[in-house]
Amino acid sequence: MKAVRIPEANVIEILEIPEPMIEQPDDVKVKIKRVGICGSDMHIYHGTNPLATYPRIVGHEVAGEIIEIGANVKNVAVGDHVVIEPIRYCGECYACKNGRPNVCKEVSVFGVHEDGGMREVAILSEKQVHKVNPEIDWDEAVMAEPYTIGAQATWRGNVQAGQTVFIQGAGPIGITVLKMAKLRGANVIISDYTNERLEFAKENGADHTINPSEVDVETKINEITHDEGANVVIDAVGLPQTFELSVNVASVAGNIVLLGFNATPSSIAQMEITKKELTITGSRLQTNQFGKVVELINDRKLTHNGLVTHKFPVSQIKEAFEFIEKNPQLVRKAIIEFE
């Protein structure tokens, strides 16, 4: 079968590998239909993902059809359409015992720490697959994993109806956060340096948009919120200056959610954090978000609505990576078709 592998930084190859066989009674075999290309896949390609090891078959945004099941599998059947939950965890560490397996000390992410879904067939544990209505288009289903990132961020920020949420960054992740925040009933402000992205955010429900190159962000947020500030700030950019801005524009008793993995320190005094009694949290992967996201997709309350902009057959994987790299302003989400 065909698989896409990154053997080392800046090299991508299509190779033939043996089709895997079910070995455990709770395993399922999935024929891959769609794989989304994520920013983290691009980082693996460029050698800038600190968590990845090589060689690596990438791909953690995956949808496919079950073609075989193990003897003990009960919740899914051959022919079911599924999306893949891309994490495995120990179940025994502090995080796991406290309902946070996404930060398990031994967490293994499909397509990062272990070979992922950019191949024709994959074997996974039954608990890693979630059934999707077969009437849902594959291009919609494959967006489930990105939506869980938005769902996790809004959960970590405790977003409530009627609150003002400020999202920094209107890229693909920022848009998934926007969609989930709107479904929670929030008023959403979103910022980006690209007006085309801001226009797309408006089309997907943003109440206000800010281009930091055109107006002062803090002044504009104070104007929109009548000097209250944003009740929840979600930083989908992950730069030291965006973290610093988050603290400045958050309201009293506000929540700040960080999504980035930037290792550069930020310059933040304790004064604002203590004075406003801010809650600052990280948001990584997802915790029990797949069920609710799949339900929203099945009910067609959650659709990509133009978020998927490009599709490539697996035979053009190199061209896909090159296109994304050279045309970031054109690509919201690109997906690979396995047919």
In a domain, 105, yes or no: yes
Residues 274 and 164 in one domain: yes
- Cα(220)–Cα(207) distance, integer angstroms: 13
Residues 255 and 172 in one domain: yes
pLDDT at 175 over 90: yes
- Cα(338)–Cα(13) distance, integer angstroms: 16
Half-sphere exposure in the Cβ direction for 329 (13 Å, CA): 4
Among 241, 267, 282, give the residue marking a domain's end.
Answer: 282
* pLDDT at site 2: 96
* pLDDT at site 226: 98
Residues 202 and 324 in one domain: no
Peptide bond into 146 cis (omega under 30): no
Asked if 251 and 53 count as a contact pair (C-beta separation under 8 A), the reply is no
- The pLDDT tens digits for 130-149 are 999 999 999 999 999 999 99
pLDDT at 329 over 90: no
| Number of domains the chain is built from | 2
In a domain, 292, yes or no: no
Residues 228 and 262 in one domain: yes
- Would strands 61-69 and 27-37 be described as parallel, antiparallel, or unpaired? antiparallel
Residues 137 and 153 in one domain: no
In a domain, 296, yes or no: no
pLDDT at 196 over 90: yes
Residues 116 and 12 in one domain: yes
How far is residue 230 CA from its own chain's centroid?
23
pLDDT at 182 over 90: yes
In a domain, 291, yes or no: no
Asked if 281 and 258 count as a contact pair (C-beta separation under 8 A), the reply is yes
Assign 24 to helix, strand or coil. Answer: coil
* pLDDT at site 133: 98
pLDDT at 53 over 90: no
When pLDDT is cut at 50, 70 and 90, the band that residue 81 belongs to is very high
Residues 218 and 153 in one domain: yes
Residues 133 and 155 in one domain: no
- Cα(151)–Cα(284) distance, integer angstroms: 11
Strands (E), the chain: 2-8, 11-16, 27-37, 56-57, 61-69, 81-84, 87-88, 108-109, 121-125, 129-132, 164-168, 187-191, 208-210, 230-235, 250-258, 279-282, 308-313, 333-337
Residues 87 and 214 in one domain: no
Residues 278 and 318 in one domain: no
Range of the domain at 17: 2-142+305-337
pLDDT at 50 over 90: no
- Determine which of 43-52, 166-175, 267-276, 327-336 has the lowest per-residue pLDDT on average: 43-52
- The pLDDT tens digits for 214-225 are 999 999 999 999
* pLDDT at site 51: 82
What's the mean pLDDT in 309-335?
Answer: 94
Cα-only R_g, the chain: 20
CATH code, domain carrying 235: 3.40.50.720
Q: Is 65 exposed, middle or buried (0-12, 13-18, 19+ CB in 10 A)?
A: middle
Residues 137 and 155 in one domain: no
In a domain, 159, yes or no: yes
- Cα(245)–Cα(264) distance, integer angstroms: 15
CATH code, domain carrying 26: 3.90.180.10
Length of the chain: 339
When pLDDT is cut at 50, 70 and 90, the band that residue 49 belongs to is confident
Q: What's the N-to-C CA distance of the chain in angstroms?
A: 12
More confident residue, 49 or 303: 303
* pLDDT at site 229: 98
Distances (CA, A) of 22 to 120, 121, 186: 15, 11, 45
* pLDDT at site 52: 87
In a domain, 28, yes or no: yes
| CA 260, 263, 265, 270 torsion-angle sign | positive
Residues 230 and 107 in one domain: no
In a domain, 300, yes or no: no
Percentage of residues in the chain with pLDDT exceeding 90? 95
Rounded mean pLDDT of the chain?
96
When pLDDT is cut at 50, 70 and 90, the band that residue 259 belongs to is very high
What's the mean pLDDT in 262-284?
Answer: 96
What's the mean pLDDT in 149-175?
Answer: 98
What's the mean pLDDT in 154-161?
Answer: 98
In a domain, 249, yes or no: yes
